[in-house]
Amino acid sequence: MSHPFPQPLIQPFDRLQAADGLLINAERWRKAHDYHRLRQNIHYQCLNQPGIVCGLGVRDIPPPSNVQAKYRDGRWVQIQPGIAIDLAGNLIVVPKAFNFPIDLEVSNTDAILVYLTVSYVDPEDLRSPNSREIVREAYRFDQRNSTLKISEIEICRILLQPGQKNITQPNDIFFPGYNNIDLRYRRQAQARPQAIVSIAQVNHNDAECARNFFNLSYLLQSIESLYPSLRGADEPEQVTLSSKIKDYDLLYLTGDQELSINSVEFESLKNYLNLGGMLLIDAPGNAEALIRSTYALAEKLKITLKKSSE
């Protein structure tokens, strides 16, 4: 099983020791407050996974009237107020709605996947006069079409087509299309799971091997209800026995025809099972060829099948 987020650094805390006559200067004041900030962040990291606490909804809007005419297209969105927690345990507070232009260029042929993110900004990193007595913790919105930085929280994603296409809300929020605001992959801040369970379907020379692929997502969704300390991966994957199957906790295999694997696939499967992996073979009652070949494979692997029936 994989762990979804890096563990906090295991290191002791240094606390300012107060005594009568202690001179409080700026450096000691900062050390005292940094201690409490660090303990709070570590608390969030230990017990919670990063994500959105509340709000931060996204909707399409017409271009604001105060922007230049050349920027008034149909690719503006408004991010609603809300709160999030990042991987380092920092609270990100967005106090008011923010209008944001999606202005990444799209090539003439292929659509691109754009991620809209928010991240924490430490006031110490801002270029501001040191004479200010009060500074406000800040945040930053960004858009990218590459892998997110580890410090970023995804707000939404949009599959942009070439040309000046308008961004809109999807007709079906579960199946957004091109240029639709996609909120399906927003991660919510919640109790940190001990591990993530990943599942992959095994593709082989049988046209029926993928018949239940989309149902595997429901199995992943049920894991948290069955085992509250665990959580299923976002989506199931598809693999062959000759690929890196050791990255998955469970392999699902089904079909109607006889299962035929070569020596490379056999060794890969053998090593996978020896490392503690699980192979779930779903054989319909009339798939006699698959059933026979499954028992033959188990005998060759020197393992005992655990049979279940509906």
In the chain, domain spans:
50-189, 191-301
pLDDT at 288: 76
CA distance 155 to 122: 20
Please tell me what DSSP assigns to residue 175. S
Best CA proximity match to 237, nearest among 226, 252, 222, 259 = 252
CA distance 84 to 78: 17
Q: Is 252 helix (H, G, I), strand (E, B) or coil?
A: strand
User: In the CATH scheme, what is the code of domain 191-301?
Assistant: 3.40.50.12140
> Between the CA atoms of 121, 124, 128 and 131, what dihedral angle is there, to the nearest 10 degrees?
140
pLDDT at 295: 76
| Cβ-proximal residues to 211 (8 Å cutoff; 6+ apart), any chain | 254
pLDDT at 297: 75
Which string of DSSP letters, residue by residue, matches 99-163? EEE------SS--EEEEEEEEEE-GGGS---TT-S----EEEEEEESSPPPTT-EEEEEEEEPSS
State both tokens at 192.
Answer: 């940190």
pTM above 0.85, yes or no: no
User: Do residues 156 and 58 touch, judged by C-beta distance below 8 A?
Assistant: yes
CB atoms within 10 A of CB 62: 11
pLDDT at 233: 84
Please tell me what DSSP assigns to residue 203. P
Q: pLDDT truncated to tens, each residue of the chain (310 aa)? A: 566 677 778 888 888 888 888 888 888 888 888 888 888 888 888 888 899 999 999 999 988 888 787 777 878 899 999 999 998 889 999 999 999 998 887 777 788 889 999 999 988 777 666 667 777 888 999 999 888 888 899 999 999 888 777 889 999 988 999 989 999 889 888 888 888 889 998 888 877 788 888 888 888 888 888 888 888 888 889 988 888 888 899 888 888 777 787 888 888 888 888 888 888 888 776 667 777 777 777 777 776 656 665 5
User: Do residues 63 and 71 touch, judged by C-beta distance below 8 A?
Assistant: yes
CA distance 54 to 107: 35
CA distance 85 to 81: 14
**CA neighbours closer than 13 Å in the CB half-sphere of residue 96:** 1
Cα angle for residues 184, 188, 192 (degrees, 5° grid): 130
